[in-house]
A = this chain, B = another copy of it.
Amino acid sequence: MSAVIETAALRSAVRAAAAVTERRNSIPILGCVRVRADADGVAITATDMDISITTRAPVQTAGELDVAVPAGRLTRVLTALDTGTITLTPKGKDLEFTAGETTGGLYGFPVEDIPVVSADFPKARTFTMPADALRAVLANTLIAVSTEETRYYLNGVYLHGRETHAGTRALTGVATNGHVMSQQDAPLPPAASEAFPVGPAAGYILPRKSAGLLLRMLSTESGDRVEVAIDSNRTKVRFRLADDTELISRFIDGTFPDYERVVPRNFTGNAKVGRRDLLAALRRVSAMCEGKHRHVLLRFDGTRLGVMTKGEEGGHAYTAIPTVSTHPIEIGVNAAYLRTLLAASDAEVTVISYSDHANPLLLQGESEPALRQVIMPVRI
């Protein structure tokens, strides 16, 4: 009955699955991980009812067990143990363990009480894509997701297939909080046409938490391909990584707004700035634009971009960086949002396109058209 597993491997698997559980949880069973072992290995599953994560670890000696124990406590047990192996033995609904000089047990919960997030994922709606491309879509849009619960349809990343202006087909992620918007394209794999049909309003809103957990899973060494599957009702998605871990998530049931309306198209000028230069300049004046007054004035005047605060926040500051701008103007923006956008980009040179102080600015990497960022101006 007992399964023998390398402690470090089990620890990683439990930690990765337990990430979906909420710290402060009034429903004990949702704070549990399900630990199942059979001849193939050990599988760890955890869920918050909307998302479920399953991770796996190899067994050194195969055993049979299926228990549900508190995720936090199991993680702490595994963290506190020395390296080596751990022997897991079921005892009713409890889980007994032996590791070197240490023996112990964790009180368990009935396995059947753990909610199952599952669905039917048809083969036709299943495709694979590069992990890097999915990572970019998530990382560069998550920063713009709204946390305002009243506009729940903005609390996620809108994933959809679309035809770009260049005529290529993209799997696009978009997110906005009303102050900034970020849109990242990835090439749409041909096999994804059934899952992500190109066309208006044919997309899905992936909840912020799911996107964040998936991004975290993609950041570990989990292979370079991801399998994506949309379920038959188009209400859930399954991401399966090359290391066989998987995340299933419900989509947000709502309609994402027609974001293309927000993207500015007519400009009176633009400026090319070193992305890191502008980040450094914003950092230098940051002590005077924090708290309530996070606004900075951007003064474009040909060869210089001046960045200044207006002295509302306990002091004032001015700094400047070189730029090439085509039209002199002063525009106020929220410094924190601008820093977030710039930090999400990889571009060496960012092109900031503007029209006047009342219209949004468009940021694009000079050689990185797949990422478009929009920031609303503020009146200073």
A residues apposed to B, CB below 8 Å: 70, 73, 76-77, 79-82, 94, 101-107, 280-281, 283-288, 290, 309, 311, 314-321
Contacts and interface: CB of A to CB of B under 8 A. Distances in A.
Prevailing SS type, chain A contact patch: mixed
Contact of A104 (B94, B104, B281, B316): B316
Number of this chain's copies in the assembly equals: 2
A103 B308 CA distance: 9
Contacts of A288: 73, 77, 104
A318 B103 contact: yes
Interface centre among A94, A284, A309, A315 (most CB of B within 10 A): A315
28 contacts: A70-B314, A73-B287, A73-B315, A76-B286, A76-B290, A77-B287, A77-B317, A80-B283, A80-B285, A82-B280, A82-B284, A94-B315, A101-B319, A101-B320, A102-B284, A102-B285, A102-B317, A102-B319, A103-B317, A103-B318, A103-B319, A104-B285, A104-B309, A104-B315, A104-B316, A105-B315, A105-B316, A105-B317
Given A80-B284, A101-B320, A283-B80, A106 B315 contact: yes
A314 B104 contact: no
Contacts of A82: 280, 284
A105 B311 CA distance: 9
Contact of A81 (B70, B106, B284, B316): B284
Contacts of A94: 315
A68 to B, nearest CB: 13
A80 B103 CA distance: 51
A318 B104 CA distance: 6
A102 B318 contact: yes
Contact of A321 (B101, B309, B315, B317): B101
Which 7 pairs from chain A and chain B are nearest by CB?
Answer: A104-B317, A76-B287, A106-B315, A102-B319, A77-B287, A102-B284, A80-B283
